[in-house]
Structure 1
């Protein structure tokens, strides 16, 4: 559905390209308008608003200015950063839907649904999310879950052009936000766990014509290499990695330095995780888990820094990167900062890629410090689990969710601190023998042993492991490489951050609140319930002298779906919306309640051998959406509560018959036999009865 703008809004959209430049360089203050025109507000992605109308002295007077629901085919995770240009907010939601609203009132102007096929969920590891749009030259640019890049007319929402950016016969997907540099729009993709080869591509904003493509890992040497960077990278790989894709997808973070004319991309993990399968004999496997600097006009390689050589823990370097100028040893340096999944906070020279400093920001078991000259990690031998395929799982920290996930950080140049959410979460890494690995074109290919995967069933052991799972908001000094303050969170999965000239840090959390903290001390100064868990980062903008704080809310993402165990019991309330605040706001927000869940499973009558077989099959085919050990707190059904498990024919209709494929439940016909399906059902019934007998478990 589409809605036309009033004339005055149409005129403002006509000046979008000018507003983008002004907003990126805005000096701040409380008069006039200040946009949030880029994903990280500025090209260096600092996520720092120079507005101070809302400050530590009056933040407790914040109230709801307006809210607007995001309409999609199902209530799933919302991870988008809203973009505000010329009084209009553009925000994306689940299934890559986009809507435009009046940023002063919340009135919807138009909405766009790219109609992503439901079967695309077979290619998606971590919910049907979208992290945001870009706005340039009167166009709203959105990348869709099924791999398209679409330009919408900013005034009407009509499609201006659309291009397919990936090979849709393979398991590529896109959840990240595009970035605009000059007249080019740049987008990466996801799918490393499924066995794809990563790359990033630039297209002309005006017409969608491809300008360049940079691959992040080498392909088959027999086909030749695209450039010298790929030839050099191939020297760090072994075996026949290209048969499994290699991975290295650029699924989120980018930043741009206009003075150096360098584009920085964050590169993801390898495929499979298990390096003994991916690259027998080891090797650094460039450019996995690396920050890579490119020339944005040509895609030419300039430099790289690898945070996790030979990565086998899913320690991506796709987490948010921030550009800043800070004093190091008394000299001002142009730096790039990142807290990737591996648990170290890095400060690099952004002109050369030189390692400046690094320090662990969460407890870790995989490495003991970094080489002070090179930044290379000192990996402990027991962490190399791929060398011991017959051993028990290696309990690693951080987990694949990372010490810091995708949720954006923010940097306040006035305090000199970086603010970001952290997660302390253990994970049992396992390894298949290479001879037992079978590549699956429609499934995860991590090279792990599904017979050993999942939390232990002993309730006491599960309780002990859960006690290790923590989340907190951290203020980090990048010069001294130390934590200045932290705030503990109730659950380990929480939102990104915003910092402002008002001396504040804003963050949403997993139990449904957005809060404001003192940027200096971490003292909580204000909070407001927004009806559902928050994982997206807030933004701030001003219109007609009024400052607003806005956040897109909707519980979901990888941890609620894949790893429900560390989250609170039951399903939190679910709603997808944008909530916007201002001083003295009096709007009343319609509340939501969690759907009641009735636990009434059929009796567990299957034999132990059938249940065990079902557990392996479940963790081979189902866990990535329905959760480890059938514990799910995301937007897909918690199978233990589902009435469908009591009826074999109905269960079969969903799993093998495609009864709910358009809603996102894939059709496994031809991949799972009816006999195997019954074993999976028996395992889920067993887990439901476990919960019935022990209600204290999640």
Structure 2
């Protein structure tokens, strides 16, 4: 068995060599091999595109499930497996079990790692006990546990190599994001914006687990790793202590801006891109000012963590429009750009070298909280959304119950990653179509206790019955090309392929395949539980496979996952998704699909 385990990793380790660039060079090579799925984001650009083309828009209708695997854990299964050589690696919700499965033997368990964690971490996990996957590099699997412990495991045996603590659950700090390896470092964020946690991105040495750098979302320049003269926002230097001077007093110390999303990397520019989340508290009256640098896109130097540029999408957020969604790196004519679909309902295109804002348009026409983003560079409000007063959640300095706000706090898109196809030039967005009522109230901060300060109700926008869309988007023009309606939010990540097919999952549990050009639905199969995981595709023994985790949960499915019934529980999601229980139940399963044997 040991000989087999080592041989199964040969395809990966043979690509790697000693030195500082060791893991990065190997991961770049692996991510360019469509047979593998080597990064949580598919590739460093977060395109979630595969060159595999055995499965096409003509034959996908014949797809069949060929094997499956029960994780043994209920609650929400976000994220996706990795495929390295002949081995698939996946992790579960709390207690964050890691499995290595033998692809030569329909998923036989090669090894299993089950960490011992204090279950008291569960109550301080905002929106279910999710994790978004593991990372691979240097012959190691990196697991980021719910209790913020980052663990390095031997990829061949599952043996523990090192571990380090990134936060303190007693203060509300938790770990839900997938790690990302860049060069000789593994990057992790922090969750807990609903507990007043101050967001940060931290880099650890992949060989030793030693902390190399940490950049906070707010605080003095020494904490945020901002150069006041060189770090820019919309082309202008941010100035001294920009992470403090739009906060009242010491509010920045409990300011939110957590970093639990996805991390992209441009090897040529040596820049890491990611988003920061909502400011704390959810009651905007209690934190006057722009609350920088919550709700922002960051570009940081991978070696030092120093910020090159920042763009704040939703200054003084009043709606919990977290900015953590993925940054997709593509070429647009001769320009390097970054495309981001934000919770606030705007699809952004920026020059990823300079941070220049190029496009900002609504990717759901029902968005009503702002009329537009001001694109006039000579305007005092350049780059800012123009808020509609009726949908503000504070009126004349008073807390009010604002009704019919679109989108709801879970956004037009949450963490579920979009895909990009270079064949069509389109982006494929798993989306929510949900409105809300939002009533703030005064709240006091206590470490480790919820620091929310708002009551929410969620429902479909006026005149609509559906709560989700799957949207094809042209980022050059900021236009919807086609859009498919779904009964519930599309909370699963998409993948596009060279076979002109895009795959995604639904909250009812369907794996769906659509034509990448037209959006025509070509195939669907109902898995045992709702899908909030991200679809992947890989090749093994000359055959293309599609795999997805099902297991309903996450914010949209928190009512089912945690057994909640109060309509305003789960930050408003329980009432909005109450009928989901009529379509699916809890589960935890991997399902793998392929074309039938000829």
State TM-score, norm by structure 2.
0.88
1:444-492 CA distance string (max 9 Å, x none): 21222x5xx557xxxxxx8997956520100111112111111111212
Cα shift at 1:161: 0.4
Q: Where do 1:171-182 residues align within 5 Å? A: 171-182=172-183
Query: Hey, which of these two has a bigger chunk of strand by percent?
Result: 2
Aligned residues between the structures: 555
Q: Structure 1, residues 584-631: CA drift from partner, whole Å, max 9, x if none? A: 169xxxxxxxxxxxxxxxxxxxxxxxxxxxxxxxxxxxxxxxxxxxxx
2:111 is equivalent to residue 101 of structure 1: no
Q: Is contact 1:13-1:155 (8 Å) kept?
A: no
1:201 aligns with 2:202: yes
Distance 1:192 1:569, change over 3 A: closer
**Displacement after TM superposition at 1:390 (Å):** 4.7
Aligned to 2:416: 407
Given that 1:116 and 1:146 are in contact with CA atoms closer than 8 Å, whether structure 2 keeps it comes out as yes
SS at match of 1:421: strand
Kept in 1: contact 2:196–2:255 (CA 8 A): yes
Q: CA deviation at 1:172?
A: 0.3
Equivalent position SS for 1:485: strand
Identify unmatched segments of 5+ residues in structure 2.
18-25, 229-239, 377-381, 559-569
2:86 maps to 1:87: yes
Moved more, 245-254 or 556-565: 556-565
The two structures have a TM-score, normalised by structure 1, of: 0.76
- The 5-angstrom pairing of residues 243-642 of structure 1 reads 245-278=254-287, 282-327=288-333, 332-362=334-364, 363-373=366-376, 374-387=382-395, 388-432=397-441, 436-448=442-454, 454=457, 467=464, 470-561=467-558, 562=570, 563-567=573-577, 568-570=579-581, 572-584=584-596
- Deviation sequence 1:119-143 (CA, Å, 0-9, x none): 1112111110110111000000010
Report SS of the residue matched to 1:382.
Answer: helix
Per-residue Cα deviation, 1:396-448 (whole angstroms, up to 9, x for no partner): 2111111101101000011000001111111211122xxx5322334321222
Instruction: Give the aligned partner of residue 70 of structure 2.
Output: 69
- SS of aligned partner of 1:169: helix
| CA–CA distance in structure 2, aligned partners of residues 585 and 513 of structure 1 | 23
Q: Is the 8 A contact 1:186 1:200 kept in 2?
A: yes
Correspondences of 1:662-673 after superposition (within 5 Å): none
Q: 1:13 Cα deviation (Å)? A: 5.7
> What CA distance in whole angstroms lies between the structure 2 residues aligned with 1:182 and 1:6?
25
Find the aligned partners of 2:388 and 2:358 in 1 and give their Cα distance.
Answer: 23
Larger radius of gyration: 1
For structure 1, the residue ranges without an aligned partner over 5 or more in a row are 29-33, 456-461, 587-698
Assess if the C-alpha contact under 8 Å between 2:293 and 2:312 holds in 1.
yes
CA contact (8 A) 1:411 1:419 kept: yes
Q: Distance in 2 between matches of 1:394 and 1:441?
A: 31
How far apart, in 2, do the equivalents of 1:477 and 1:430 lie? 35
Asked if the contact 2:217/2:224 (under 8 Å) is kept, the reply is no
Rounded Cα–Cα distance in structure 1 between residues aligned with 2:223 and 2:521: 57
Verify: 1:234 aligned to 2:231, yes or no.
no
- The change in CA–CA distance for 1:308 and 1:84 in structure 2 (over 3 A counts) is same
- Normalized per residue, the structure richer in helix is 1
Cα distance in 1 between the residues matched to 2:544 and 2:225: 48
Offset at residue 107 of structure 1 (A) = 1.4
Describe the superposition over 1:679-698 as per-residue Cα deviations: whole angstroms up to 9, x where unpaired: xxxxxxxxxxxxxxxxxxxx
Equivalent-residue separation in structure 2 for 1:369 and 1:131 (angstroms) = 32
Distance in 1 of aligned mates of 2:498 and 2:226? 45
Distance of 1:347 and 1:535 partners within structure 2: 26
SS at match of 1:430: strand
Residue 559 of structure 1 deviates from its aligned partner by 1.3
The whole-number CA distance in structure 1 between the counterparts of 2:303 and 2:86 is 31
> CA 1:379 to 1:56, structure 2 compared with 1: closer, same or farther past 3 Å?
same
- Offset of 1:4 from its aligned partner? 8.6
Q: CA RMSD in A?
A: 2.3
